[in-house]
Amino acid sequence: MTLHNYLIHLVLEENFPDTLSVHDIDNLIAAIDLSKPEGVRNKAMMETLYSCGLRVSELISLKLSNVHFEIGFVKVIGKGDKERLVPIGSVAIKHIRSTSMRSVVI
């Protein structure tokens, strides 16, 4: 099932969930097509969202310079321009590094 089809499946359920289950998140991540540059980028984004518990708005404003690979933290600017340090998982770090090495901008 593609990522697009899986998202449509979730939306069409009777009640759209307030939160996704671990199973749903695993399915979303598994549906990403890594053979395409945007798939590599999407995987890094999904892993970061899940790993850090970020809001989408926080993710899209995240700068690579705010990812502190060496200490495993991300500086996030949230609501009201408040900054906080959030731990980031090793899988997300791996995918961010992979994406930044490919210089994917879509």
- What is the CATH number assigned to the segment(s) 32-102? 1.10.443.10
For the chain, the structural domain boundaries read 32-102
DSSP the chain: --HHHHHHHHHHSSS--SS--HHHHHHHHHTS-TTSHHHHHHHHHHHHHHHHT--HHHHHT--GGGEETTTTEEEEE-GGG-EEEEE--HHHHHHHHHHHHHT---
List the pLDDT tens digit at each of the 106 positions of the chain.
777 777 777 666 655 556 778 898 889 889 999 998 889 999 999 999 989 999 989 999 999 999 999 999 999 998 888 999 999 999 999 999 988 766 544 4
